[in-house]
Amino acid sequence: EVHLVESGGGSVKAGGSLRLSCVASGFSFGGFATMGWVRQPPGGKCLLIARFYGDGTTSYMYDVEDRFTISRDIAKNTIYLQMNTLKREDAATYYCVAGEITWNMDCGRPGPDRYWGQGTQVIVAS
């Protein structure tokens, strides 16, 4: 019943920008607002990039806070990730996640209180 759908990935040159979006259905942000963005590069580890807490506050991974911004539109049940000054190391598959969020999740692995989008790929070319 709960579904998360990401979009906005693509290929950009180093220094460019992208905005990712994640549309949620099956629950209301008003009652379940804990959501975030996670990424996994090819052959790399799953890493939490940015998140909302239940009270609407946010946190970011080191080295992205000055370049990335997480935001939300409650009326549209959508969260966004604005990514500026993209670097080669930012290339990865990006996932939207909702529910129980930790810093050591396995990308795409659901649980009773954790839901994932399908992922959207970001490529950064020189």
Quick one: pLDDT band at residue 28, thresholds 50, 70, 90? low
Q: How far apart are CA 95 and CA 22, in angstroms?
A: 9
Mean pLDDT of 27-38: 76
Q: Which of these, 24, 20, 23, 35, lies nearest to 81 by C-alpha position?
A: 20
Quick one: pLDDT band at residue 112, thresholds 50, 70, 90? confident
Residue 32 has pLDDT above 70, yes or no: no
Q: What is the mean pLDDT of the chain?
A: 92
Quick one: pLDDT band at residue 31, thresholds 50, 70, 90? low
Residues in the chain, how many?
126
Q: Which helix (H) or strand (E) holds 51?
A: strand 47-52
pLDDT of residue 75: 86
- Bridge partners, 27 (sequence order): none
Residue 15 has pLDDT above 60, yes or no: yes
Residue 59 has pLDDT above 60, yes or no: yes
Q: How far apart are CA 24 and CA 22, in angstroms?
A: 6
Q: How far apart are CA 90 and CA 111, in angstroms?
A: 27
pLDDT of residue 126: 83
Strands 92-99 and 47-52: unpaired
